[in-house]
Amino acid sequence: MRHSQETVKAGIFGIAGNVVLFLIKIILFLFSGSIAILADSFHTLSDSISSMLMLAGIYKSRTPPDREHPYGHGKTEYFVMVFMAIILVFAGFMFSKEAALRIMKPIELKIDVWILSGLLFTILIKEAMSLYAFRVVRRTGSKIVQVDAWHHRFDTVTSVFVLFSLIVQRFGIVRMDGIAGFVVGIIIAALGFKFLKDAYDRIIGVPPSIDMVRGIKEIAMGVEGVRAVHDFIISNVESFPIITFHIEVDRNLSVEKAHSVADEVEKMVQKEYGGVCVVHVDPACEDQSVREMLKCLKERIKDVEVVQDVYTVSKTEKGFVVEIVFKRNTEAGKKEEVIDLIRKELVKRFGVENIEFQERPGFLPEK
């Protein structure tokens, strides 16, 4: 994934801002003794650490491919996300534990107006940092900056909650400080688990977005000579897209011309999405009965929950071959039931026999 210079600036801005806010909140804690402010200050410190990790991840992910890593280092940012998430989970649980002790043994705090004003100042600064980070995300699409942006936003929310709890504390509800610290700790830990899951999903591999698939189809269909597009396999979606799919062209085209069409599709897709694109060429079916059969199947599977798609119907010397894609985790018995149902309907409507169903793996988002 290509990062603009803006992502680096966002990282530096986040580090500097969080360090300043951490120092302000520590001063507020020393004068107030509030466990909620202390938890909030270390939440801000964890944001500063995460911004440092983010910056390191951005620089590493921009490292060009080398002999050991021919696909580049784009996934580095997801491993950085794991470390950032672990920091949040650990900090969250630690402060929840301390806050629980404060709830059981509350102490009376002296919360002056200047302390509340100082906390309000940090909230305004933090929200400004959040808005800036989200603007960078919209411009660059960086997932790691998005994590940092949400860190800023949740820090703002937790600080608002802490401010509210301190105001309530002034009216004599002495356990409110511990309650606020406990809630802030749980929020921090929950946020860490969320980012841990997101990083795990990205490292293991997720399907491409529907918008990406639609965009590739539009590019391919816009090339003269392409009649249909199917059989998508898209991996390493963000760091280094590896895109393969089939196109159908006139079966009477020369090999040279068909190759030229495929080559043009590959160049246009790679220009738009980066990475590498490999296109397989299929001869388009000219048999009207086969085309009617495919149209019928496309309509029929709309009512079948477990079927994702039917790619092609082809005519062979022995009969017909139907390429079908089932949704993931569909049981074998259910697949056989659906195939038997479709086979009977094709025999009834088109009078065809010797129908072979070939199951193809599905790599696209399920409908």
pLDDT tens-digit map of 88-124: 888 788 878 888 888 888 777 778 889 999 999 999 9
For 332, residues 6+ apart whose C-beta sits below 8 A from its C-beta are: none
Fold of the domain built from segment(s) 286-362:
Alpha-Beta Plaits (3.30.70)
What percent of the chain is predicted at pLDDT more than 90?
20
- Domain spans, the chain: 5-204, 207-284, 286-362
Residue 338 clears pLDDT 50, i.e. is over it = yes
pTM of the model: 0.63
- Cβ atoms 183, 161 nearer than 8 A: yes
In this prediction, residues 24-30 reach a mean pLDDT of: 91
355-359 vs 320-326, strand pairing mode: parallel
Residue 2 clears pLDDT 60, i.e. is over it = no
Asked if CATH classification 3.30.70.1350 holds for the domain at 207-284, the reply, yes or no, is: yes
Q: Residue 4's pLDDT is what?
A: 57
| Assigned superfamily of 5-204 | Cation efflux protein transmembrane domain (1.20.1510.10)
Q: How confident is the model at residue 364 (pLDDT cuts 50, 70, 90)?
A: low
- Cβ atoms 45, 18 nearer than 8 A: yes
In this prediction, residues 358-363 reach a mean pLDDT of: 78
Q: How confident is the model at residue 319 (pLDDT cuts 50, 70, 90)?
A: confident
Higher pLDDT, 304 or 132: 132
For 186, residues 6+ apart whose C-beta sits below 8 A from its C-beta are: 92, 96
Amino acid at 193: F
Q: How confident is the model at residue 1 (pLDDT cuts 50, 70, 90)?
A: very low
Residue 300 clears pLDDT 50, i.e. is over it = yes
**Percent helix, percent strand, percent coil in the chain, to nearest 5:** 65, 10, 25
207-284 matches 286-362 in fold: yes
Mean pLDDT across the chain: 83
Q: Whole-angstrom Cα distance, residue 322 to residue 25?
A: 66
In this prediction, residues 236-263 reach a mean pLDDT of: 87
